[in-house]
Structure 1
Amino acid sequence: MSETTHGQQVASADELRQLSAEERMVAGAEADGIHIVHRRDRFPVRGTKAEKRAERGVALAFAISALAGVGFIVAFIAIPYQWHLPGTPQNFRFYTPALGGLLAIMLVFLGVGLVLWAKWLMPEEEVVQDRHDTPTSEEDSLMTEATFTVGLQDTGLPRRGLILKSLLLAGGAMATVPLVALVGAMIKKPGTQLLHTLFTPNKKLFPESGGLVPIVYSDFRKVTPADLAPGGIATVFPGVRAENSDGYNGVTDASSPTLLIRLRPGQQIKSRKGQSTFGWPEVNPEYVAFSKICTHAGCPASLYEQQTGRLLCPCHQSQFQVLEDAKPVFGPASRSLPKLPITVQTGADGRQYFYARSDYKEAIGPGFWERP
């Protein structure tokens, strides 16, 4: 016999090695101040029909969890998610509910399986433990090792292959689902689609203007030079609206918001290289247009101080000097707002309307575009 670090008299290390794992576990519990009040095996006789039924029930819960995880991956890939115009197929609306529902089923049934496993298959046990704070002896280590060994045997995993396999499936699904959600959108290369907006000329939609896209307000009214007073500003969009199953809308497209600005008398633009003719008129322009999307973090840069010609982004206080082609002059933004080439054409009603002469010549949005 020897004394543990907790002051309990227990068998020596050599004596403990002669005991079974169950006996060492009980001895270790007592030596550690843990008194087993009640301990009963749910199935003293192994392999009974009742035990098999319980095992299949737990495995079924894990299998449902695994299937829900696979369903999440399939839904993430297969269900349409892109927004479509009202009046066209709206099946994209099932995307988020399907992912959320399948994720919930996966987590719920994984939890149900673990609870049923503990309640149906693992031994029923009640213990009382004393508090103590002392170092660990060799005898304590042996008894602790036995506790883990018996605990593993209590789970039944070494002899319950069905539960082990179904648990591995459920655990694999749970580990895979976050990876799919995180990197799934990165699998398909965007190509050059992120370098274009709906201001790109389209002769099929606008043959009357030679393909030039009209500039409109949010209600699709065309913008005229007379709409803005000197120093005025307006948020405008490409007047594109395709009514089909893959419909797209210039007003709702995230890349579209553009600021049309009318300069005050006497104000002149100091253009960047290659952009001196982007305004209207091309010489000494009175109207200029810039992307409304801040080049720092994508917020709307639309607070305009007409006396100084500065645009302010309210999110992080970046400021852009319109008279220098929206050059950043304050705050975290490091790149000028992209400038839209604009022109004016006379409509059938004899009025003048703004059109985009081409798409933006540089990518809109945050400055990550400049990274190599």
Structure 2
Amino acid sequence: MNNTYFDTEKKEAFRQALIAWYLENKRTLPWRENSDPYRIWVSEIMLQQTRVDTVIPYFERFMTRFETMRDFAYADENAILKIWEGLGYYSRVRNLQTAMRQVIEEHDGIVPNTKKAILGLKGVGPYTAGAILSIAYQKAEPAIDGNVMRVISRVCEIDSDIMKPSTRKIFETVLYDLIDPIDPASFNQGLMEIGALVCTPKKPMCLLCPLQSFCLAHQNGRELDYPVKIKKVKTKKIQLLSIIVQDKKRILVEQRQENGLLANLWQFPTVEVGANDNREMIKLAFLKKYGFEVELKDALPHVKHIFSHLVWEVDVMTAKITDFIPQEKVKFVSLEEMSELAFPVPYQKMWQSFIEEKGNLDNE
């Protein structure tokens, strides 16, 4: 990377090209209707590791349900998990609620407009802080996400591994120097938009890019060499068996633990199994975990779910149970109650398969 690549004249030309393109080509998105820091904050948390098209309906439902920060900050956890159901990474919404309580109780209900204060909020890292400060408050703070790193790594031919925390300092140095001091909101959103729509990972559309004339990787025919990403994330595979138990119009469900993966969400009774476990071994696993005898019935479609660090391979079966003693976190619920509980995506898929197999449960 050439640290002197952007002289004063080129910096200004880069800013003008980027902002002009953004203002002409930006997508119409619900969180861009105004610069309300509450709306911007919610959208940025939702957009972490989630596609824009997926987020739009969630954002709109969220804002209808929690119109103000106070509405959300003091909402029941079950309500916020239900509205977040399917977005995944549920710690995001829990941290968001905690942080907004901090804003109400420690900052008089006003989202802080300084980097130090906003970074003191639960779950707010440098990217989210930069996005809120620049978009809501027009502060010249960079917002460095994956799209931005891809664009800048190509423009400047940054050869450092983006998976290393130390590399972020390189991007910060470049972007603090580059960011437009007059309109940092459009500058940051422009970089994000180019990364999402033009400077894509595998098929960058360089001929349509307003930054083409500034891009070293394009000039050298090395677009696909950037960003440099060496570290590979190892994933662990877990084999599970879940059962769906129906008693008249009631379904057996279990609430997950308060901490860890998918905390406090609901699921169907599930045990971890070995590749060679037979039915007797599986029955014993359910007995040890839940205290009831299980009689396995029909198989439902297999469910595979990929998390960032592990893969679930889930076999699903209908079942009957005996000797069941209701517990606080394992109980039968009505179909109406089912609709109020928040289930992770793999269990939503299981439930949909069960409904399709069984037809209308109201007729049972």
Q: TM-score range by the shorter chain?
A: under 0.3
TM-score by length of 1: 0.21
Higher helix share: 2
TM-score by length of 2: 0.22
